[in-house]
Amino acid sequence: MLVTGGNRGIGLAIARAFAEGGDAVAVTHRSGEPPEGLFGVRCDITDPEQVEAAYKEVEEKQGPVEVLVANAGITRDQLLLRMSEEDFSAVLDTNLTGTYRVVKRAARGMLRARKGRIVLISSVVGLMGQAGQANYAASKAGLVGFARSLSRELGSRNITCNVVSPGFVDTDMTRALSDEQRADFVKQVPLGRYAQPEEVASSVRFLASDEAAYITGAVIPVDGGLGMGH
């Protein structure tokens, strides 16, 4: 199985959860070193050539990817009138087009094998919206339409495609917020706290398991009740 952006945060927790379950795990890391004890390949998902090279490396070592978790993502928050075209397109290019790149490459092997599991990491913000995150929310909402289209295209080949939609998770991404913003966000969460990355990982593992064989095109919230059906 392969996790993009598996060197830290939610991606690392997902990779570790699968490794603990006995799976052969590969992670992509854009910068730095691969995480200790995990097989890592360097890859910036905005570069199609790096995506192709990363898959070749993973396939040589572990065979075709049977489970893909498209997790890598960025934010560039700004209110609309201050949001540059660069801020908008960088977020779309990483979160949405980057996911298209890695999913398309994985689907090749899955179609041949006539089985596969694809899990995309979206966000509660994709369907609720969030002031200052029009680019991010658009990219994350786009993942839902993308996943649902793929579940229709690939379902007859025993490939499922689902979305996990986390709320506020305690990672570098949310640590970048001010204390005031963090406290404000927590007030909106019925469970009254941030999620730990491992709590997202357990839903991803479920979607990749035999128990979830009949689930596709679903959006699974892991948000402490924040989205309430969004």
Q: Identify whether the C-beta of residue 138 lies closer than 8 Å to the C-beta of residue 92.
A: yes
CB of 9 to ligand NDP, least distance (A): 2
Query: Does 148 participate in binding ligand NDP (rule CB under 6 A)?
Result: no
Which residues ranging from 37 to 66 are in contact with ligand NDP (CB under 6 A)? 43-46
Nearer to ligand NDP, 36 or 210 (CB): 36
Nearer to ligand NDP by Cβ, of 45 and 147: the residue is 45
φ/ψ (deg, to 5) at 42: -80, 135
Measured from the CB of residue 173, what is the shortest distance to ligand NDP in angstroms?
3
Question: 55, 42 in Cβ contact below 8 A?
Answer: no
Residue number with CB closer to ligand NDP (158 or 174): 174
139 is in an annotated binding site: yes
> Is 100 annotated in the active site?
no
Q: What is the rounded CA–CA span in Å between residue 27 and residue 2?
A: 6
CA 208 centroid distance within chain: 13
Q: Which is nearer to ligand NDP, 47 or 113 (CB)?
A: 47
For helices 98-113 and 48-62, angle between their N-to-C axes, nearest 10 degrees: 30
* Cβ atoms < 10 Å from Cβ of 178: 8
Residue 84 tokens, joined: 């540059």
Binding residue (CB under 6 A) for ligand NDP from 1, 2, 3, 11: 11
Q: Give me the 77-96 binding string for ligand NDP, x by CB under 6 A, dash otherwise.
A: -----------------x--
Please tell me whether 7 is known to bind a ligand: yes
Give dist(CA 116, CA 167) in Å, integer: 26
Q: Answer for the pair 17, 198: CB distance below 8 angstroms, yes or no.
A: yes
List active site positions. 136
Query: Would you tell me which residues interact with ligand NDP (CB under 6 A)?
Result: 4-5, 7-11, 28-31, 43-46, 71-74, 94, 98, 121, 123, 166, 168-169, 171-174
